[in-house]
Structure 1
Amino acid sequence: MGVSTHTMADYTSSVAPARLFQGYCIDTHNFLPEAMPSFIKSVDLVQGRPFKYAKNRVDEIDAGKFYCNYTTIEGGVVGDNIEKAVYETKFEPTSDGCPYTMVVHFHSKGEFVVSEEDVAAAKPNIKNMFNAAEEYLNANPQLYA
């Protein structure tokens, strides 16, 4: 088994890190369907592409540092070639906005290596989700304030 690590997101938002963290990491099951109703219906994917479902396990949440670590253990990218994917998400408070990073550690089966093409193909979806979340929070300034 090999592990390949990729930075899947590295953005800066004008939304406060506490609000982004609350929506993305703490209240995900309520927030994401509200922010992205055309893509997420409760915890079920409406669109179903490229994955029909994902089962995640939360490994660590540090609300003081706006950090969340979780592992996809079933569905999603997990399958014939990937045993699990470990996600590290971090929101940082700065005077210039809120940097957000997502680093993913893909634990592959056998000699499989996650290709740069696969990583590049996933990044626009992650960016679109982040943009939708940011727009929703900007349109609803009372949410998680």
Structure 2
Amino acid sequence: MGLITYDMEISATIPPAKMFHAFVVDGDKIYPKILPQVFQSVEIVEGDGGPGTIKNITFGEASQFKYAKHRVDALDKEKLTYSYSWIEGDALMNIFEKISHDVKIEAGPNGGSICKNTSRYYAIGDIQFTEEQIKDGKEKVLGVFKALEGYLLANPNAC
């Protein structure tokens, strides 16, 4: 099995606790509202939102994928850390066993936050990703994060 790993950091003007709450705790409700073309719905199919919870993500018309199952691996609301894995669905493209993400939101400059994300792609066989494919994946994550930041700036009482 091959493993592809990349790290990224994204800065936001939103305070860390609020960003974490929107990104993780309320994300299931927010993403379909602010990006319906990407996320049609996010539904818990097993669990209570904590570790072990399984969610079904149905993607919108702008996505190349139809669905993914997402498992919460770890959640610490005090330390603002969240780990999850995509464990099933066409988003794994029949080439990945799973895709795992470790997220930590920290204090950033001027009261904002920095989201640190480590992504691990567990390939079924030995595959190689090009720099362009990794860049494309990072840009998609950045787009979702910036849409969330924009939503919070436009709706200061949300979350």
TM superposition score normalised by structure 1: 0.88
Q: Who is 2:9 aligned against?
A: 10
Q: Give the 5 Å matches for 1:1-145.
A: 1-7=1-7, 9-43=8-42, 44-75=58-89, 77-96=91-110, 97-144=112-159
Shift of 1:36: 1.9
Change in Cα spacing, 1:48 to 1:83, as seen in structure 2 (3 Å) is farther
TM superposition score normalised by structure 2: 0.81
Shift of 1:2: 2.1
Shift of 1:109: 1.4
Change in Cα spacing, 1:65 to 1:126, as seen in structure 2 (3 Å) is same
Change in Cα spacing, 1:41 to 1:98, as seen in structure 2 (3 Å) is same
User: Which consecutive aligned stretches of 4+ in structure 1 deviate over 4 angstroms post-superposition?
Assistant: none
Q: Report the secondary structure of 2:107's partner residue.
A: coil
Change in Cα spacing, 1:19 to 1:42, as seen in structure 2 (3 Å) is same
Q: Report the secondary structure of 1:102's partner residue.
A: strand
Q: Is there any run of 5+ residues in structure 2 with no aligned partner, and where?
A: 43-57
Q: Distance in 1 between matches of 2:38 and 2:106?
A: 27
Shift of 1:107: 0.7
How many equivalent pairs are there?
143
Q: Distance in 2 between matches of 1:73 and 1:16?
A: 31
Tell whether the 8 Å contact from 1:4 to 1:106 is kept in structure 2 after alignment.
Answer: yes
RMSD of Structure 2 on Structure 1 (CA) = 1.7
Q: Who is 2:47 aligned against?
A: none
Q: Report the secondary structure of 1:73's partner residue.
A: strand
Q: Report the secondary structure of 1:42's partner residue.
A: strand
Change in Cα spacing, 1:76 to 1:142, as seen in structure 2 (3 Å) is farther
Tell whether the 8 Å contact from 1:106 to 1:114 is kept in structure 2 after alignment.
Answer: no
Q: Is there any run of 5+ residues in structure 1 with no aligned partner, and where?
A: none
Q: Distance in 1 between matches of 2:126 and 2:152?
A: 42
Tell whether the 8 Å contact from 2:82 to 2:102 is kept in structure 1 after alignment.
Answer: yes
Higher strand share: 2
Q: Which amino acid aligns with 2:41?
A: S
Q: Give the percent of matched residue pairs that are identical in Structure 1 and Structure 2.
A: 29
Structure scoring higher RCO (CA < 8 A, sep ≥ 6) equals 1
Q: Distance in 2 between matches of 1:39 and 1:49?
A: 5
Deviations 1:31-66 (A, max 9, x none): 112222333222222225222111110000011111
